[in-house]
Structure 1
Amino acid sequence: MDNDSAAHFIYHQNDRHIEHWFEWWYLNIKGDDGNNLLVEFFTFRNLSNPLTSLVGVVVLFMSADGNTFESVKTYPFIRYTLDYEKCNVTIDGDRFSEVAENKYAVRYHNNVNDVNLMLNVSGVTESLSGLSMVLEDWQWMEWRSHVPLGKAKGVFSYRDFNGYHEYHICGRGYHDHNWGIAKFRSLDWEWGEFSNSEIPLSVVYGLVRSENDSFTGGLYFSDETTHYALLWPDIHIEYEGWEWINGFKKPVKLSMRGTSNNVSANVTIVLERAYVVGIGTVGMPYLMGKLSGEVEIHGKRYTLSSITGFYEHHFFNWW
């Protein structure tokens, strides 16, 4: 098992900027039936101080009709354990763990709305490692995409005013792990993940910068045996369309292209749907898009047509 999937806080707990610590384990599922799911186990700020730290779990269900159901569990002095040998995070009895090489299990329950989730994800394409992002001054981020493309199965259920709902989940899974020390309000970042299980191939990008700095990161590809990267500044991003969605300015069409060594890409992302994450119509948009274009790796060309995935555009200083 990969140690980078384990927790990292204790190795940095004496850093003088530890109040800006963050670490999360993120997973999403693109369901074959059009229903989608997002799970995140998170820790923020100095975990040595339970009065100021923030630890919890968020589960977001995005139905095929565009509606969302969100379950959040976080409160002061919440019980949790972190494993520094492998991915094995437990928060108030909920668990995100690596059960075998490149295979993950999530168990979650919330008495509010009687929410239950049992989920298993196994990787298909190679993991993306070594994604370090050194930012301005003391700020830095580490990022690992352990499952750029995986197979996911599970059961999700909850109750609301309309009764009991149960969904059997089957589809494409994605999992990454992020940690570092940074001021989020001063960061701009782009992130997205798209995959095709028939090839199979995954396309993931992550770019971040702090104020008055240039981007760091890249555009990453993985198949069943290896992974490849186009790193900044060998990537060009062009925003071709914008819309205001729930009060937030978001790109509805963007293209990325670049060439480096034996890798080249020319892809376009178009917004398919924006899910509103929050209470009722008050909340932030979470973007689902379709990627099309061509990728060439060591002379092998992949033609991608409308493969789905999630993408994010966070420019906090624009809000």
Structure 2
Amino acid sequence: MESAPLPVPPAARQAESEADYARLGLARDRVAAWEDAARTDNSPGTYEWWYLDAHLDDGAKLVVVFMNKHFSSAQDPLRPLLRINVELPGGELRTTLAAFAPEQWSASSDLLDVRAGGNRMSGDLDTVRVRAEAEGIAIDLELRSRAGAWRPQTGHMYFGEGTDRLFAWLPAIPQGRVTGSYTVDGKTRPASGTGYHDHNWGHVPLPSVINDWYWARGQAGPYATIATYITATAEFAHATIPIFLLTRNGEVVADDARKVRFEALDVHVDAHTGKPVADITRYRYTDGSEAYTVTFVRDRDLSRRRMIDNLSDERRARAEAVGFDGAYLRFAGTLTIERHRDGLLVESYRDEAAIWELMYFGRARWPRADS
């Protein structure tokens, strides 16, 4: 007797049909300023955050994130958070996570204007300003875009049938120039360098739909890239969603994710988190006779953190009860961008100050390369 075929798991997909664009009120050829404004109402079942990072000429790295709640806790009510990460020029790391009362939070639904207490991120698709201060760290930056706002198709990813399980992503400023200052323990330093800003929101706790992702952005020579490889949970047969953008002097030269092949190489198990970590992550983009290879080579770890360690006692107990063992790892190393034409190398650029991350919500799995 023949066995019945196994059921096909529900899809994990990037929304890209004409019907998707029409339903979401989005245009294929442009991003509107309201897309970077608040996209949720802060209610249980939703989450949202705005992110900005800067790689400075003095070697420092800055990250500022405004969150209406922790992204793993969509069912929580409004619980505003502000995260600031600083890597000083000498390599010293400083991280702070500040919590605010719900009445101290506001976010415009018309344009980017997010506030948590006296902290604020505001602006438009050309210029973003951020002022944030917590635990002896103060950030005062202006980010001016050098590449137009971009999103991968609609920017909306759906998991399962229907549209109720959503994770959305908008790189509002994929690449820009940063100016301003940053202060650590009373010492203020001028800030100049490159920057990036994006916006995320959703309607489902990320650990329930995403097993892990690699996310990177960087610049080498005239090229800038955003590269992401998302792996869904077992419920969705560990389906993968690659996202890729490559610009040259601010103009898009490659952004069709269907033409990307991802590789995770020289994998080891991180002793602290128990997660598999690739020392080399590579994105190969092929479009006819033109091909690009974007490679990140890990030199050192900037963060190796189990998510459970930062939870309150109550939330930690709940996480342990369901076996949650998520982890966050952040790396520093070398980015190489190569261009080939008809199989011949015609351009190659290198940056030795790249930073990227591995977010791991699910159980450890040995990574595989795309076919």
TM-score range relative to shorter protein? 0.7 to 0.9
After superposition, the CA RMSD in angstroms is: 3.1
Q: How does 1:280-319 map to 2 (within 5 A)?
A: 284-295=328-339, 302-306=347-351, 308-318=353-363
Deviations 1:13-49 (Å, cap 9, x if unpaired)? 7xxxx63422111111111111111110112379xx9
1:103-122 matches, within 5 Å, as 103-110=127-134, 112-113=135-136, 115-122=137-144
Select the structure of larger CA radius of gyration.
Answer: 2
2:142 matches 1:97? no
Of Structure 1 and Structure 2, the greater helix share is in 2
Q: What is the identity, as a one-letter code, of the residue corresponding to 1:218? A: I
SS in 1 for 2:173: strand
Are the structure 2 counterparts of residues 220 and 263 from structure 1 closer, same or farther at C-alpha, using a change threshold of 3 Å?
farther
CA distance in 2, matches of 1:171, 1:273: 22
Q: Specify every segment of 5 or more residues in structure 2 that has no aligned partner in the other structure, as ranges.
A: 1-31, 311-327, 365-371
Tell me, yes or no, if structure 1 residue 167 matches structure 2 residue 189: yes
- Residue 67 of structure 1 contacts residue 275 of structure 1 at CA under 8 Å; is this kept in 2? no
Amino acid of the structure 2 residue aligned with 1:109: E
Q: Given that residues 50 and 76 in structure 1 are in contact (C-alpha distance below 8 angstroms), is that contact kept between their aligned partners in structure 2?
A: no
Amino acid of the structure 2 residue aligned with 1:257: R
Cα distance between partner residues in 2 of 1:230 and 1:262: 15
Do the aligned partners of 2:245 and 2:252 also contact (CA within 8 Å) in 1?
A: no
Segments of 4+ moved more than 6 angstroms:
none
1:194 to 185, 198, 218: 218
Would you tell me which structure has more strand in proportion to its own residues? 1
Distance 1:216 1:209 in 2: 6
CA distance, structure 2, for counterparts of residue 64 and residue 260 of structure 1: 39
Cα shift readout 1:253-303 (whole Å, capped 9, x = no counterpart): 122213246863222210133213779xx8854222322142469xx9642
State the TM-score, normalizing by the size of structure 1.
0.82
Mapping of 1:213-292 within 5 angstroms?
213=236, 214-223=239-248, 224-226=250-252, 228-232=254-258, 234-243=259-268, 244=270, 246-249=272-275, 250-260=277-287, 264-276=291-303, 284-292=328-336
8 Å Cα contact 1:235-1:257 kept in structure 2: yes
In the alignment, the residues of structure 2 paired with residue 166 and residue 192 of structure 1 have an alpha-carbon distance, to the nearest angstrom, of 28
Aligned residues of 2:100 and 2:116 also touching (Cα < 8 A): no
- SS of the counterpart of 1:108? strand
Could you tell me which amino acid in structure 2 is paired with residue 179 of structure 1? W
Equivalent pair of 2:150/2:174 in contact (CA under 8 Å):
yes
The unaligned stretches of length 5 or more in structure 1 are none
Q: Does 1:153 align with 2:179?
A: yes
Query: Cα gap change, 1:35/1:302 in structure 2, threshold over 3 Å: closer, same or farther?
Result: same
* Cα distance in 2 between the residues matched to 1:63 and 1:246: 24
Q: Would the alpha carbon gap of residues 263 and 89 (structure 1) be closer, same or farther in structure 2, given more than 3 Å must change? A: farther
Provide the rounded CA distance (Å) in 2 between the counterparts of 1:22 and 1:276: 24
Whether the aligned pair in 2 keeps the contact of 1:102 and 1:147 (CA below 8 Å) is: yes
SS of 2:216's equivalent?
strand
Tell me how far apart the structure 2 counterparts of residues 301 and 143 of structure 1 sit (CA, whole Å): 33
Query: Which amino acid in 2 is paired with 1:119?
Result: L
Q: Deviations over 1:88-123 (max 9, x none)?
A: 10111210011x55111001123x33x322111111
Write the distance in 2 (CA, Å) between the matches of 1:124 and 1:242. 35
In structure 1, what is the Cα distance between the partners aligned to 2:121 and 2:289? 37
Partners of 2:337 and 2:100 in 1: how far apart? 44
Q: How many residues align?
A: 299
- TM-score w.r.t. length of structure 2: 0.71
Which residue does the alignment assign to 2:55? 30
Counterparts of 1:177 and 1:306, CA distance in 2: 25
Tell me if structure 1 keeps the 8 A contact 2:75–2:205: no
Cα–Cα, structure 1 residues 19 and 51, in superposed 2: closer, same or farther, change >3 Å?
closer
Structure 2 counterpart of 1:315, one-letter code: Y
- After TM superposition, the structure 1 = structure 2 runs for residues 12-161 of structure 1, keeping only pairs within 5 Å, are 19-44=44-69, 52-98=77-123, 101-110=125-134, 112-113=135-136, 115-129=137-151, 130=153, 131-137=155-161, 138-159=164-185
Contact 2:273 2:305 in 1 (8 A): no
Q: 2:70 & 2:283 partners in 1: Cα distance? A: 34
Instruction: Give distance in 2, aligned partners of 1:60 and 1:8.
Output: 25
SS in structure 1 of the partner of residue 52 of structure 2: strand
SS at match of 1:54: coil
Distance change >3 Å, CA 101–CA 211, structure 1 → 2: closer
Q: Secondary structure at the match of 1:19?
A: coil
